């Protein structure tokens, strides 16, 4: 029988890559998007899947339990991938209640709907390394103690434990993927890597003078999103539901990523000063091309993340392949192309 899946958050980075993967595998995909005044399918269009005959785009909001139940009744999926969330950590400090309603209770709505409509549906919850927050061990693995540092991290931790609770209480096939940061040319421009590559492209093309950033010392474990959605799919294909870390096991600072991105555009930079007065200077022209602006600092920061994906490798056969250098280069080149033709997403 043809496989059927629901992807919540299909308009986001991971939703687009996962839709492409499942459509290639012959799934019927129900992808949910929110009603907005202007449609937001640019990622699906970039991947060339927006008009795919097996793709059904369904208007849906995660916070509405009634429409969650209707969605499951109508789509009759075998698998659900819950990728929808208020996913920006910075905004979660300004909108903690909305973040909880979408990111925490939204996942519960799906679990409840599965319990009521069809408890055999397999469920993937998009958990996050942000749950480790103020890290209690290095590297972080599946049973490292959690210590979230943002309303987003706390909301995701609720959804993570609810997934485990429904697995243990109702025998629901609920998997939680604790994914470390993953990026791509489809990353939203508010996240630091894409903000950097898009700004570097604009600086290279003379469309922007200076890139402004917050904390340059934060260390992240950055992988390639297209590889991470393959890991999500694998989690739902094995015999037993479980929790898995997906990560690269390499960590670098935001400053390192800035340097890599400028290098990718053929600009060598030197960093000068420190903390709030740190800048990066183009060594060829002497111009300041990056400066710190404290408005991008967060009230509480996650300083260091590095994950060990050994369990995913052993049980799922999953391993990352793209290096940070390759990933950054891919993103810089995509943003150079887009900014040359005036693309602005
Ligand atoms: P994005 O921010 O790119 O996408 C989030 C998606 O959620 C968008 O499609 C968005 O719709 C949708 N959404 C937001 N609110 C609602 C709502 N109330 N009802 C229905 N849909 C909603 O995130 P990513 O693709 O990067 O991440 C996918 C998931 O994985 C998220 O849950 C994120 O928190 C999690 N995650 C991401 C990591 C990463 O590094 N990318 C790492 C670990 C976890 P719209 O387009 O309308 O805004
Ligand atoms: P993160 O990603 O918070 O890890 O959450 P983000 O790219 O927003 O920040 C990474 C680090 O960079 C620092 N930083 C800045 N961040 C942004 N966005 N803008 C800036 O100008 C800036 N300057 C410095 C941040 O302080 C932070 O330390 C992402 C999201 O995709 C989550 O949904 C996901 O769960 C986690 O990754 C894993």
Mean pLDDT calculated for residue range 273-293: 98
Nearest CA to ligand 2 atom 2: 191
For residues 40 and 278, what is the distance between their CA atoms, to the nearest angstrom? 36
- CATH code, 17: 3.40.50.720
**Confidence category of residue 344, pLDDT binned at 50, 70, 90:** low
The chain-wide mean pLDDT, for the chain, equals 97
pTM to 2 decimal places: 0.98
pLDDT tens track for 65-94: 999 999 999 999 999 999 999 999 999 999
Whether residues 177 and 281 share a domain: the answer is: no
The CATH code of the domain that includes 282 is 3.90.25.10
Yes or no: say if 20 and 49 are a contact pair by the CB < 8 Å rule. yes
Expressed in angstroms, the distance from the first to the final Cα of the chain is 38
Interface predicted TM-score of the whole assembly (ipTM), two decimals: 0.99
Same-domain status, 166 and 58: yes
Above 90 in pLDDT, residue 232? yes
The total of other beta-carbon atoms located within 10 Å of residue 69's CB is 17
The answer on 150 and 263 residing in a single domain is: no
**How many domains, in total, are found in the chain?**
2
Same domain flag for 200 and 118: no
**197 in active site:** no
**Which ligand number lies closest to the CA of residue 35?**
1
Q: Are residues 170 and 67 in the same domain?
A: yes
Residues 214 and 265 grouped into a single domain: yes
Same domain for 177 and 266? no
Domain that holds residue 270: 192-218+253-303+325-341
Q: Does the Cβ of 320 fall within 6 Å of ligand 2? A: no
262 and 153 within one domain? no
Residues 230 and 296 in one domain: no
User: How many Cα atoms are found within 13 Å in the side-chain-facing hemisphere of 108?
Assistant: 15
Same-domain status, 112 and 153: yes
Whether residue 186 is predicted with pLDDT greater than 70 in this model: the reply is yes
Please check whether residues 267 and 312 belong to one and the same domain: no
Q: Which residues surround ligand 1 with Cβ inside 6 Å?
A: 8-9, 11-15, 32, 34, 36, 40, 61-63, 83-87, 102, 126, 128, 179, 181-182, 188
| Active-site option among 152, 166, 228, 244 | 152
CA 19 to CA 275: how far, in whole Å? 41
What gap in Å lies between CA 225 and CA 186, rounded to an integer? 9
Q: For this structure, is 130 an active site residue?
A: yes
Is 147 part of the annotated catalytic residue set? Answer: no
């Amino acid at each position: 029988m043809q496989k059927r899946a629901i992807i919540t958050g299909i308009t986001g980075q991971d939703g687009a890559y996962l839709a492409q993967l499942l459509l290639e595998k012959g799934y019927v995909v129900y992808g949910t998007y929110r009603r907005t005044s202007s449609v937001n399918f640019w990622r699906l269009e970039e991947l060339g899947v927006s008009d795919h005959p097996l793709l059904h785009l369904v208007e849906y909001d995660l916070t509405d339990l009634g429409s969650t139940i209707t969605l499951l009744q109508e789509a009759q999926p075998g698998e659900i991938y819950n990728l929808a969330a208020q996913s920006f950590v910075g905004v979660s400090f300004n909108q903690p209640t909305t973040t909880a309603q979408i990111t925490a209770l939204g996942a519960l709505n799906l679990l409840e709907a599965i319990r009521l409509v069809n408890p055999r549906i397999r469920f993937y919850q998009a958990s996050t390394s942000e749950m480790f927050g103020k890290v209690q061990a290095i590297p972080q693995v599946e049973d490292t103690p959690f210590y979230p540092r943002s309303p987003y991290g706390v909301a995701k931790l609720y959804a993570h434990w609810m997934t485990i609770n429904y697995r243990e209480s109702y025998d629901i096939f609920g998997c939680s993927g604790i994914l470390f940061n993953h990026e791509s040319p489809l990353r939203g421009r508010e996240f630091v890597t894409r903000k950097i590559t898009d700004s570097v492209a604009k600086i290279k093309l003379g469309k922007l003078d200076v890139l402004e950033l917050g904390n340059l010392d934060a260390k992240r474990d950055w992988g390639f999103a297209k590889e991470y959605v393959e890991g999500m799919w694998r989690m739902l294909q094995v015999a037993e539901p479980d929790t898995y870390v997906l990560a690269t096991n390499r960590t670098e600072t935001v400053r390192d990523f800035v340097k890599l991105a400028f290098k990718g555009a053929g600009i060598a930079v030197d960093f000068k000063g420190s903390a709030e007065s740190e800048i990066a200077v183009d060594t060829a022209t002497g111009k300041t091309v990056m400066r710190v602006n404290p408005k991008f600092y967060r009230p509480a920061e996650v300083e260091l993340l590095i994950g060990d994906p050994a369990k995913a490798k052993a049980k799922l056969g999953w391993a990352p392949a793209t290096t940070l250098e390759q990933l950054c280069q891919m993103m810089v080149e995509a943003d150079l192309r887009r900014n040359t033709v005036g693309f602005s997403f």
